[in-house]
Structure 1
Amino acid sequence: MDLSNKVAVVTGSGQGLGLAYAKDLVRHGAAVVINDVNQATADAAVAEITAAGGRAVAVVAPVGSTETAQKLVAGAVDAFGRLDVMVTNAGILRDKVLWKMTDDDFDAVITVHLRGTFTCVREAVLKFREQGDGGRIICIGSPAGQRGNFGQTNYSGAKSGIVGMVRTWAMELQRAGITANAVCPVAATAMTETVPFLAPYIEGMKNGEPLPDIIRREVGLGTPEDAAGIISFLASDAAAEITGQAFAVGGDRLALWSHPDLTAVEYHDGGWSADDIAAQWAGTFGDAVQSVGEEFPEELMAK
């Protein structure tokens, strides 16, 4: 997997999953722009990469605005002469149940995740089209955006919107040779430490204990490094024909999320009244109703 001719921006890459993505891209030869809101964190990430012989520079700015998106693309071009890959990973959490979530809680998460993805991808695509030789858009989604998650109205909405944008971009950008895909990772990070039944396993991992198979396989949770290979693959020439997809990755598991599709269809001449729907519901639609939220093995939830 040779990425030595590639230049990538990875937003939110000072630590955690973003840093794992950046380091894996560098390990395969790419040059990277590290992004974080903290100068010391960004500088430490760059120092770690360059000390190992990699190429990296830092752009310190909060993702969301067009100005930051322009700084990120300019940072890649100024340092390395071009841009080939945009990985939109930056994110924050403001978890609260709906009736306690404030406008600020909602807007902050939407700004970083959804608007930040839009502005960074738009700026990258402008550069890709100017260069004329394609490009790679890799947007970070979440299982919460695919299935919903308690207390995450803002986060689930943003992550769902990201996958919807990716499907649209895959159509709009295909003729320019630009692919757009989403990756929905699950990894032991500060975000997943707050999940009660996962906390003991993550704490054990910090103490050098291996994660059991039920966590790495059925839950699909592992280290940030476990989720990084799919990023380098999608950035490579080997993925030139893959676009508009949403990947699930974590631990020992790699999977594709399905696109939303019709699960039950019935027709009624002249359209459907409320009484018509009530009469037909159990026979056609009742058994086709789908669950919400992530589903985990029962033996984990019983602990």
Structure 2
Amino acid sequence: MPYMDLHGKVAVVTGSGRGLGLAYAQALAAAGAAVVVNDVDQGAVDAAVATITAQGGKATGVVAAVGDSEAAQRLVDAAVQAFGRLDVLVTNAGILRDRVLWKMTDDDFDAVVRVHLRGTFTCARAAGIRMREQGTGGRIILISSPAGQRGNFGQTNYAAAKAGIVAMARTWAMELAKAGITVNAVVPVAATEMTKTIPAFAPVVAESERTGAPLPDWLRKDEGLGTVEDVAGLITFLASEASKDVTGQAIGTGGDRLALWAHPKEKAVVFADGGWSADAIAAEWHDGIGAEPETYGIPAPKAPEA
């Protein structure tokens, strides 16, 4: 499709030295975009740039930990200095500091929020300023997580940050619409170093990697879990002209699944003249508005019985 051609476009992908971020960068480069690779590890950046250029793509690298404004501006400046402009931003960089609430420290919380939430904010702000100055629109693609949509045990910091990222996507979609800049959140599921540790997934993923056999249908369809490359098509689509009318959405992908997440909305509403006392709410709740409460948490994966 001609409108999937990204030649002449320039993209920044944070956290793209390995894993999902590298898959995103490679996919954008394969579609013709010049890419700024970013990671905290020089070796990972150099290897990613070498891989992309060896495949015929254009890439340069920036070693930086996203979070503060200086790092965000360095990424935008690198795109402009190397390739003359900036058209696409993918905010993928992230870290984990998983602990249950009563064991999570201030540093655990702040470190994750700084990279995921503040890093997304500072990078998107710098990119948005540049794209508005260019006057030719743009694409901002924010990486969220199922944990941000549903919550996840031991991930107070991560879930909060990823939920905030979806909220920022909806807000920025409104604020940047007049400039022709779309903003969407992607909710990916893939076999990464993190998901490989989940007991239900680990042996199946390990066997697939050992033998080269594809992941089974129950993983690819029921759990929506596949390779990092399975997720990359959505990034290319959202960076392309084909998605020019798609904005403010949270879109999930992984394995064989593609999903549009619902925005939060009132599920049920009841009224009482004069307002609601505590006693009135108690009388109404269990058999009325609260009779079908919402679920919470990511459902535990379950392999089919042999």
**TM-score tier (shorter):** over 0.9
Cross-structure match for 1:250:
254
| Residue 266 of structure 1, aligned match among 264, 270, 276 | 270
Q: After alignment, is 12-21 or 188-197 more displaced?
A: 188-197
Residue 201 of structure 1, CA deviation: 1.6
Structure-to-structure mapping, 1:277-288, within 5 angstroms: 277-288=281-292
Structure-to-structure mapping, 1:110-125, within 5 angstroms: 110-125=113-128
| Residue 225 of structure 1, aligned match among 226, 229, 235 | 229
- AA aligned opposite 2:262: S
Q: Counterparts of 1:121 and 1:3 in 2: how far apart (Å)?
A: 20
Q: After alignment, is 20-29 or 290-299 more displaced?
A: 290-299
Residue 61 of structure 1, CA deviation: 0.4
Q: Counterparts of 1:248 and 1:192 in 2: how far apart (Å)?
A: 16
**3-state SS of 2:286 partner:** helix
| Residue 190 of structure 2, aligned match among 187, 192, 196 | 187
Cross-structure match for 2:219:
215
- AA aligned opposite 2:7: S
Q: Counterparts of 1:53 and 1:117 in 2: how far apart (Å)?
A: 29
Cross-structure match for 1:34:
37
Segments ≥4 residues shifted beyond 4 Å = 296-300
Q: Counterparts of 1:47 and 1:285 in 2: how far apart (Å)?
A: 58
- 1:11-48, Cα deviation, whole Å (9 max, x unpaired): 00000000000000011100000000010110000001
- AA aligned opposite 1:68: A
Q: Counterparts of 2:188 and 2:301 in 1: how far apart (Å)?
A: 18
Question: How many residues get paired?
Answer: 302
Cross-structure match for 1:160:
163
Identity between Structure 1 and Structure 2 (%): 65
Contact 2:11 / 2:86 at 8 angstroms: preserved in 1? yes
Q: Counterparts of 1:184 and 1:191 in 2: how far apart (Å)?
A: 15
Residue 191 of structure 1, CA deviation: 1.2
Structure-to-structure mapping, 1:1-303, within 5 angstroms: 1-207=4-210, 208-296=212-300, 298-299=302-303
Residue 163 of structure 1, CA deviation: 0.2
Cα RMSD over matched residues?
Answer: 1.2
Q: Counterparts of 1:3 and 1:220 in 2: how far apart (Å)?
A: 27
Residue 297 of structure 1, CA deviation: 5.7
Residue 296 of structure 1, CA deviation: 4.7
Q: After alignment, is 170-179 or 197-206 more displaced?
A: 197-206
Contact 2:285 / 2:291 at 8 angstroms: preserved in 1? no
Listed as ranges, the gaps of 5+ residues in structure 1 are none
**3-state SS of 2:291 partner:** helix
TM-score, normalised via structure 2 length = 0.97
